[in-house]
Amino acid sequence: MLFKLSLTGIKSRLKDYIVLFSGLTISSAIFYMFMSMALNQNFLGKNSMMSASMTGFIFAFGAVLLSIITLVYIVYANSFLLSMRQRDYGMYMMLGAKSGKIGILIFLETMVLGVVATLIGIILGLGLTQVVSNMLISQLGLTITGFVGFYLPAVFVTLIFFVALFFIAALFNRRTLLKTPVLELLHGSQKPVKFKQNAGFVWLQALLGIVSLAIGYAAMINVKILVLASIPIALVTIVLGSYLVFNSLFTAVINVVRKNHKTLYKGLRSFTLNQLRFRITDYTRILSMISILFALALGAITVGLGFEKLNQQFENFTYYDAQIVTKDQKVAKEVAKLDVKTKSTYDYKIDGGTVYFIKDEFEKTPLKAMINKSSNSMGFVTTKVGTYSVADLAKETSGGYYYLNNLIPNKKATEQSPMKNVFLTQAEFDAKPQTANSIDLLTVKDFKNDAKTLQAINNLQEKKDPRLAEYMQSTKVFSYLGVRAMTSGFEFMGFFLGIAFLTMLASTLMFKILSGAQSDVSRYEMLSKIGVRRGILRKSISTEIGVLFALPGILGIVHVLFGLQFFKAFLADPYDGIWLPFTIFIVLYMIYYLITVWLYQGIVLKKIK
Amino acid sequence: MQNLNVVDVQNVQKIYGKKNEKQYQALSNVTFNVKQGEFIAIMGASGSGKSTLLNILSTLDQPTAGSVKINEQDITSLNKNQMADFRGKEIGFIFQDFNLLENLTDRENIALPLSLQGVNSKKIDDAVDKIAKRLGISEILSKYPAEISGGQKQRVAAARALVHEPAILFADEPTGALDSSSAKELLDTMQDLNINDHVSVLMVTHDPFSASYASRILFIKDGQIGEELVRGTKTRAEFHHEIIDNLGTYAQ
Ligand SMILES: Nc1ncnc2c1ncn2[C@@H]1O[C@H](COP(=O)(O)OP(=O)(O)OP(=O)(O)O)[C@@H](O)[C@H]1O
Ligand SMILES: [Mg+2]
């Protein structure tokens, strides 16, 4: 009987349940997706030039962050569930239902909801992992290998993590229902709100908040001076600053507006402003948390995409784009596909530990290389094109000597005993009995564009003479692809974590707001009675919720804009192309805002005809 | 002027439940009117249809049949927005549970009906100060509802109901949540407003004492207006006794 009643309760709020359920499903899907990458050695190993332990660490760090936000998320989602149910269950108890039975019901309800959502989430995660990874790989031109949607350990970890969380949540809900007085369950705990705050104290807090934010931002801008110290400084001051700003600044501003009756007495404005004032004070913690997580998420995406630029920087570390030592039809056919900018050909003959070159060739087309122009305090190097004279190339102590050495394929040369570079006249060279070889050094107009062909050329050469395997590793395209694999790993993770964070924190805010909807029903009902049009009530609701979404969003964006200063150390221009992640974020965030408004109006205006 | 009907109800019928569902007739053939400046009480047992009637009069609900005119305007023909505007302009409400917005100060609460009508802030402030003085709550305007007593809350609610000078004040059990001395004070004030400021009042109540402040009492039973008592020249105490006697016979 009680069970049936409880089902009726769910049916009457089906819309809210569907959103709650989808929210939980999405969060477990995201969790699964991330874990399937973080735990998958195959994925980590192949996509990273860095030691596997380093990538493992980065992913573990990501996993911890994701677990924390998931935990917070579940807490808020659960409090929304409880807010929906406490009235019903309070009523049953008042009507004499045994509290033991109610306890079992809410426990079961939470567990069933959670476990079913998790299972569906994992299945969804399997599919999404496949789709999203394929999409990302093609969209961003990433190279990711060894990535499969289904990964058993990830399934287990997700299942255990979520079931454990829901078990705790279910116990918590049971305890709350049984420990809270029935009357309070029925009417909601009307928390006494402290409206009277000392105005001076509020302004002092606001000032302190702004000052701490300023210190935090300054620490980020001056990362060159403070180096690593800027991270803890910024972290502490920005967290503190966000909290203080939410706790006081907005209240202070609203209070100023309230003093001026000319602006206050405009339609429902006094009501909307006071709702906001109450909400913002009540939401201080969650709003500051969201502003910071929002910044972290947006930062993760921006920086992740910023790594793309690392590839471009990397292109400037090596001058020649191709080294052709194999002269055959197949190779020539591939070379013909390249959009060649310059081509220099050098003849050589190998005589034991000595390589003979023709002096004239090096004088006519000097050998070029990228040399360091400058490097900043964080080790960020800029380069320029340099040329080597024949004298340089022949002198054993010069950089050019080794540079040339490495361009010539020869198994015998080692660091310890390099080959000897000898420059001869054409006649002297011709007189040497060894077989003549030649190397073509090419540069192309668009390296990124030709990278695939360049790799094919390497492969063809290696196939013809397997001894060239090691030599081919010194080519530009080989290192380029390696770095690219690493950066795409970062991009992928940044992108993924960013989106995951955003969806979770936006829906955390959504659930927090919706949890309070129930206690607003009577207010809106009353306003409707005294003659407020439904449309005006709707507008007031969208404004109120809009501000609640916008404030942490805007503060978060400001955090990121300053935070990117920190990445000036690694990336030439961290602000380049930030419109993309910002747009993605704002659009996603807007969607959550609209869903929240829709649901909230559904709850609050239900009874108003 | 004296003969103008602020409320004119003709043959109002209210049936709850849709055609194919179980139906319940809450009001049948209700006809009465309230003259300008009258203080009317509606009495009846629980479930007799008092709230239903008040909801219809205040445009919160529509009658199944019949016509309702407030201040000469037929309110059953209005659309939803017009109804909301009508409530905001022509009707003042006092509820049993005050229904103040606890996030707003008393002053902001009282100002709300006028700011909804787009009155300029200077005029709003003047009107709020005037009605607050009239109801003796000038001292507490900057407080929040949570900081004042039940009696004061109901005065603030009355101020909010009257600040825009509505055609009629509707009160649903206004003394229901008050102790007897606050209740008496509120009723005295309402009577004073009625006599000196010519505010028309329609009050729904169970309580014979509250009803004795009215100039006319309509008894409602099973959704129909039965008897009517007129105070005439009787004192309030005499009228009180008459109501109690009447309730005794009426209940049989
Ligand atoms: N929405 C509704 N649907 C169906 N029946 C209703 C509805 N509202 C009220 N009723 C019925 O109409 C009748 C009159 O109800 P109403 O609320 O008007 O009584 P009341 O006189 O105000 O009672 P009380 O003094 O207890 O407030 C009651 O029998 C009630 O059950
Ligand atoms: Mg009633």
| pLDDT, tens digit (0-9, with 9 covering 90-100), for B56-75 | 998 888 899 999 999 888 99
Interface residues from chain B to A (CB-CB < 8 Å): 58, 60-61, 80-81, 84-89, 91, 93, 99, 101-104, 108, 111-116, 118-121, 124-125, 144, 146, 160
Rounded alpha-carbon distances, angstroms, from residue B196 to A549, B2, B17, B110, B134 = 51, 14, 43, 21, 11
- Expressed in angstroms and rounded, the spacing between residue B218 Cα and the centre of ligand 1 is 18
Contacts of B103 in chain A (CB under 8 A): 193, 195, 271, 274-275, 277-278
Q: Using N-to-C axis directions, what is the helix angle for A284-315 and A52-94, rounded to 10°?
A: 160
Please count the helices (runs of H) and the strands (runs of E) in chain B: 8, 10
| Cα A514–chain centre separation | 27
Is the Cβ atom of B51 under 6 angstroms away from ligand 1? yes
Nearest CA owner, ligand 1 atom 22: B51
pLDDT at A49: 44
β partners of residue A343 = A442
Q: Which ligand is nearest to the CA of B30?
A: 1
Mutate to test the pocket of ligand 1, among B13, B19, B25, B50 (most ligand atoms within 8 A of CB): B50
Mutate to test the interface with B, among A266, A270, A532 (most CBs of B within 10 A): A270
User: What is the Cα–Cα distance from B205 to B4, expressed in whole angstroms?
Assistant: 25
Helix (H) or strand (E) holding A383: strand A381-388
Q: What is the distance, to the nearest Å, from the Cα of residue A599 to the centroid of all Cα atoms in its chain? A: 28
The secondary structure of B36-52 as a DSSP string is TT-EEEEEE-TTSSHHH
Instruction: Give ∠ CA B121-B123-B124 in degrees, rounded to 5.
Output: 60
Cα distance between residue A341 and residue A534, in whole Å: 69
Residues 6+ apart with CB under 8 A from B97: B176, B177
- Taking the C-alpha atoms of residue B51 and residue B26, their distance in angstroms, rounded to an integer, is 10
Sign of CA dihedral B80, B81, B82, B88: positive
> Per-residue pLDDT averaged across A235-264, rounded?
89
- Domains for chain B: give ranges and CATH numbers: 36-65+76-250 (3.40.50.300)
Select the residue of A264, A275, A531 nearest B84 (Cβ to Cβ).
Answer: A531
pLDDT of residue A503 exceeding 80: yes
Q: Residue B116: which of A195, A267, A534 has the nearest Cβ?
A: A267
Cβ proximity of A193 and A235 under 8 Å: no
Q: Please tell me the distance in Å from A98's CA to the nearest CA on chain B.
A: 31
Report yes or no: A539 and A601 within 8 Å, Cβ to Cβ: no
Lowest-confidence pick of A65-79, A181-195, A583-597: A181-195
Q: How far is the CA of A559 from the centre of ligand 2 (A)?
A: 55
Whose Cα sits closest to atom 2 in ligand 1? B16
> For position A351, what pLDDT does the model report?
83
Q: Which amino acid is at B138?
A: S
Terminal Cα-to-Cα distance of chain A (whole angstroms): 32
At CA A24, angle to CA A57 and CA A591, rounded to 5?
A: 95
pLDDT tens per residue across span B224-238: 998 888 888 888 889
Pocket test of ligand 1: the residue of B52, B56, B210 to mutate, having most ligand atoms within 8 Å of its CB, is B52
| Closest C-alpha residue for ligand 1 atom 25 | B46
The confidence band for A48, taking pLDDT boundaries of 50, 70 and 90, is: very low
Backbone angles phi, psi at A236, to 5 degrees: -65, -50
Question: Do B81 and A528 lie within an 8 Å CB cutoff?
Answer: no
In A176-205, the residues whose Cβ lies within 8 Å of chain B are 192-193, 195
Task: Express each pLDDT in A511-543 by its tens digit.
Answer: 889 888 888 888 899 899 888 999 999 999 999
Report the range out of A136-145, A149-158, A460-469, B205-214 with the highest average pLDDT: B205-214
pLDDT attached to residue A417: 66
- Shortest Cα distance, chain A CAs vs residue B234, angstroms: 35
Residue-level length of chain B: 252
Chain B residues in contact with A529 (beta carbon < 8 A) = 58, 60, 87, 93, 99
Task: Name the 3-class secondary structure at B13.
Answer: strand
The distance of A258 to chain B (nearest Cα, Å) reads: 9
Q: Is A270 on the interface with B (CB under 8 A)?
A: yes
Contact B112 A278 (CB under 8 A): no
Q: Using an 8 Å CB-CB cutoff, list chain A residues near B16.
A: none
With CB atoms and an 8 Å threshold, state whether A192 touches B85. Answer: no
As given in the structure block, the two tokens for residue A238 are: 């920005």
Higher pLDDT, A439 or A409: A439
The SS3 of residue A283 is: coil
Angle at CA of residue A471, ends A468 and A475, nearest 5°:
125
Q: A100 and chain B: CB distance < 8 Å anywhere?
A: no
Residue A50 — pLDDT band, cuts 50, 70, 90? very low
- Whether the pLDDT of residue A558 is over 60: the answer is yes
Q: Which residue among B81, B101, B113 sits closest to A533, beta carbon to beta carbon?
A: B81
CA distance B107 to chain A (A): 11
Q: Residue B52 burial by CB count (10 A; 0-12/13-18/19+): exposed, middle or buried? A: buried
pLDDT, residue A167, reads: 93
Q: Is residue A395's pLDDT more than 90?
A: no
Q: Do A535 and B118 touch (CB under 8 A)?
A: no
Partner residue opposite A268 with nearest CB, options B58, B116, B144: B116
Residue B1 has pLDDT above 50, yes or no: no
| Cβ of B24 less than 6 Å from ligand 1 | yes
The first and second tokens of residue A296, run together, are 């972290």
Tokens of A153: 């350990």
Strands A367-375 and A381-388: antiparallel
The shortest C-alpha distance from B34 to chain A (Å) reads 21
Burial of B48 (0-12, 13-18, 19+ CB in 10 A): buried
CB atoms within 10 A of CB A258: 18
Ligand 1: residue of B16, B19, B206 to mutate (most ligand atoms within 8 A of CB) is: B16
Q: Using the 8-state DSSP alphabet, how is residue A248 labeled?
A: I
- The residue among A225 and A203 whose pLDDT is bigger is A203
Check whether A609 has a pLDDT greater than 70: no
Q: CA angle, A407 as apex, A401 and A409 as ends, to 5°?
A: 120
**What's the Cα-to-Cα distance from A259 to each of A186, A246, A278, A543, B105, rounded to whole Å?**
36, 20, 16, 20, 12
What would you report as the CA-atom Rg of chain A, rounded to the nearest whole angstrom?
32
- Condensed to tens digits (0 to 9), the pLDDT of residues B200-250 reads 999 999 889 999 999 999 999 888 998 888 888 888 889 999 988 888 765
Residue B85, number of CB atoms within 10 A of its CB: 18
Q: Report in angstroms the alpha-carbon separations of A418 from A357, A368, A403, B133.
A: 15, 20, 11, 103
Assess contact for A545 and A597: CB atoms under 8 A: yes
Most B CBs within 10 Å, among A251, A257, A261, to test the B interface: A261
Q: Which two tokens stand for residue B217?
A: 């009492």
Provide, as residue numbers in chain B, all residues whose Cβ is less than 8 Å from the Cβ of A266.
115, 118
Of B16 and A195, which is predicted with more confidence?
B16
Q: What is the mean pLDDT of chain A?
A: 82
**Distance, CA of A545 to CA of A147 (rounded, Å):** 40
> Residue B8's pLDDT is what?
93
The pocket of ion ligand 2, defined by CB under 5 A, consists of B 51
In the stretch 529-548 of chain A, residues with CB closer than 8 A to chain B read: 529-536
Gap between the Cα atoms of A305 and A574, Å rounded: 9
Structure tokens at A281: 């004070």
